[in-house]
């Protein structure tokens, strides 16, 4: 039942609303006292929560003594709710896409913290790239990139060992052996640092991901001179150069 409650909370239900609705959906119908026992919602709050759910169209009251309550068929009500959420999301996305056409000065260097934010920013860059240089030793990262890229996106992988990427439909280049330590973990003042991946997109933007202790940090740069320098450095380290 806990999984159902957490899912309902993601849809916008409060903790108590999620508990009560889940209890009713599982029981079929119940009195306020039975809902209290099943859901764990305090008895003094049950009627307040039921009233809130009824006003939102999730619950209906059965006139009896004592009064009983039942959840509107979840398949029907949640399907409608899903369509409403999708419509709202689409409206927001369209508004923000249109807003991008307005000219605002954006800072050329910024930092993203946390796995979720880093993952979303990297995916956005990959999706919008035509030519993408991927510098990493992690095949799992590259597989996600290959899944997210556009059909016409050209991928070049720069790594320490090309055999890690056998079967990947991309050009793979190796860094010279004496420079492969850039992919190794280092410890400075007791803190572990590790370079995970650098994405260089279309020659004007890069996004590097680093692990500092237990934290994941992404650094985005939109400075053409710096991007050119990054490309020169990594391509200059290639084996055979």
My answer on whether 130 and 64 are in the same domain is: no
Annotate 47-85 with DSSP letters as a single string.
HHHHHHHHHTTSEEEE-SSS-EEEE--HHHHHHHHHHHH
Rounded CA-CA distance 41/56 in Å is 19
Contacts of 181 (CB under 8 A, 6+ apart): none
pLDDT, residue 46, reads 92
My answer on whether 220 and 115 are in the same domain is: yes
What is residue 13's three-state secondary structure?
coil
The answer on pLDDT for 225 being more than 70 is yes
Cα 228 off chain centre by:
29
pLDDT, residue 99, reads 63
Q: What are phi and psi of 180, to 5 degrees?
A: -75, -10
pLDDT, residue 156, reads 92
pLDDT, residue 102, reads 54
The answer on pLDDT for 188 being more than 70 is yes
Confidence of residue 240 (pLDDT cuts 50, 70, 90): low
pLDDT, residue 217, reads 92
pTM: 0.58
My answer on whether 113 and 69 are in the same domain is: no
pLDDT, residue 72, reads 81
Q: Which of 39, 31, 69, 34 is nearest to 53 (CA)?
A: 69
DSSP conformation class of 238: B
What is residue 8's three-state secondary structure?
helix
pLDDT per position as a tens digit, 194-222: 999 999 998 789 999 999 988 999 999 98
Asked if 175 and 200 touch (Cβ cutoff 8 Å), the reply is no
Task: Calculate mean pLDDT across residues 147-155.
Answer: 89
Q: Give the long-range contacts of residues 62-65, CB within 8 A, separation 24 or more.
A: 62/29
My answer on whether 23 and 131 are in the same domain is: no
User: Where residue 225 sits, what CATH number does that domain have?
Assistant: 3.30.870.10
Bridge partners, 175 (sequence order):
238
pLDDT > 70 fraction of the chain, expressed in percent and rounded: 94
My answer on whether 179 and 122 are in the same domain is: yes
Q: What are phi and psi of 152, to 5 degrees?
A: -95, 0
In-domain check, residue 121: yes
| Number of residues written out for the chain | 241
Task: Calculate mean pLDDT across residues 76-97.
Answer: 76
In-domain check, residue 88: no
Query: Which domain covers residue 130, as residue numbers?
Result: 109-236
Number of domains comprising the chain: 2
Helices 2-10 and 15-27: crossing angle, nearest 10°? 130
Q: What is the mean pLDDT of the chain?
A: 85
In-domain check, residue 103: no
Confidence of residue 101 (pLDDT cuts 50, 70, 90): low
Name the domain boundary from 58, 73, 88. 73
pLDDT per position as a tens digit, 111-149: 888 888 888 889 989 998 999 999 999 999 999 999 998
pLDDT, residue 45, reads 93
Range name among 81-95, 129-143, 161-175, 196-210 with the lowest pLDDT average: 81-95
Name the domain boundary from 26, 54, 73. 73
pLDDT, residue 50, reads 92
């Amino acid at each position: 039942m806990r999984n159902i409650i957490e899912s309902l909370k993601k849809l916008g239900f409060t903790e108590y609303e999620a508990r009560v609705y889940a209890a009713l959906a599982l029981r079929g119908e119940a009195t306020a006292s039975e809902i209290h026992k099943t859901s764990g919602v305090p008895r003094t709050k049950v009627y307040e929560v039921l009233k809130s759910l009824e006003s939102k169209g999730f619950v209906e009251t059965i006139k009896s003594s004592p009064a009983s309550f039942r959840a509107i068929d979840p398949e029907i009500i949640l399907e409608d709710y899903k369509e409403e959420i999708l419509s709202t999301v689409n409206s927001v996305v369209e508004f923000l896409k249109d807003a991008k056409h307005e000219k605002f000065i954006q800072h050329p260097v910024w930092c993203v913290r946390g796995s979720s934010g880093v993952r979303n920013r990297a995916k956005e860059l990959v999706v919008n790239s035509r030519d993408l240089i991927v510098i990493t030793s992690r095949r799992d990262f590259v597989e996600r990139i290959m899944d997210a890229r556009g059909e016409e996106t050209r991928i070049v992988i720069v790594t320490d060992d090309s055999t890690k990427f056998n079967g990947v439909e991309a050009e793979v280049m190796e860094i010279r052996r004496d420079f492969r330590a850039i992919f190794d973990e280092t410890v400075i003042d007791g803190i572990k640092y590790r370079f995970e991946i650098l994405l260089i997109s279309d020659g004007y933007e890069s996004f590097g991901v680093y692990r500092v202790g237990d934290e994941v940090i992404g650094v985005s740069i939109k400075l053409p001179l710096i991007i050119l320098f990054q490309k020169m450095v990594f391509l200059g380290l290639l084996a055979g150069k």
